[in-house]
Amino acid sequence: MTEKTAAEAKSARKIERSCIDCTVGLCDEGKGNFPEFCRTTHLDGELLAEALAEYGAEENHRVAIAAADVEAEGYGIYPRAQEIVEFAKKLGCRKIGIATCVGLLREARAFARLLRRHGFEVTGVACKVGSTPKSAIGISDEDCGVGEFICNPILQAKILNEENVDLKVVIGLCVGHDSLFYKYADGIVTTLVTKDRVTGHNPCAVLYQLDSYYSKLLK
């Protein structure tokens, strides 16, 4: 398939419109002229009721209320690190576990310092814990150029699960490694840092410049 034919095939694909294609955001106001593809106006009432019922569960209710309180008190005022501190306080957390990339240990130490200053017990697990060779899980030699040992998010999650932390915080786990950590982590998890080695851990920088400096990604 030629480059032109491939581009034409892409443009010919049917796009299923959803919230990500909305430019009005009226669901935040509850009234107005909603787009024809609006999920709110086409929502399955039973699915909505099912979701709302889940907030009746004790833990879900506590988290939802704590999150709403932090948003109301610190909207546009609290940086993310402070939001997490206040969120943990409102949940009544005693011990907080940090799952960090080894490349962000400095940031993890700084956050631990902040948490300890506010009275929390803090523990952490770095991604390379166990120093396990990549070959042990079948990673090819070609993928060993950036390090000999695996990142082990499953082990990170299991260690923090065993230590019975009240809240887990992710700091800079790689794409996919974070997915496995979330999958195996018990209880409540939030993220302080999303890793992006190119933008200084600011992934939105690419999105803000998608029509300029990063337009090459659209080709």
Residues 186 and 161: beta-carbon distance below 8 Å: yes
CA 44-45-50 angle, to 5 degrees, is 100
Average pLDDT, the chain: 92
CA 17-21-25 angle, to 5 degrees, is 120
Q: 79, 108, 96: which is closest to 173 by C-alpha?
A: 108
How high is the pLDDT of residue 28? Answer: 79
Query: What are the pLDDT digits (tens) for 144-169?
Result: 777 789 999 999 999 999 999 999 99
Residues 66 and 90: beta-carbon distance below 8 Å: yes
pTM, to two decimals: 0.89
9-30 mean pLDDT:
79
CA 72-75-76 angle, to 5 degrees, is 170
Predicted confidence (pLDDT) at residue 37 exceeds the cutoff of 90: no
d(CA 168, CA 99): 7
According to the CATH classification, is domain 92-218 in 3.40.50.2300? Answer: yes
31-60 mean pLDDT:
92
Q: 88, 109, 113, 59: which is closest to 168 by C-alpha?
A: 88
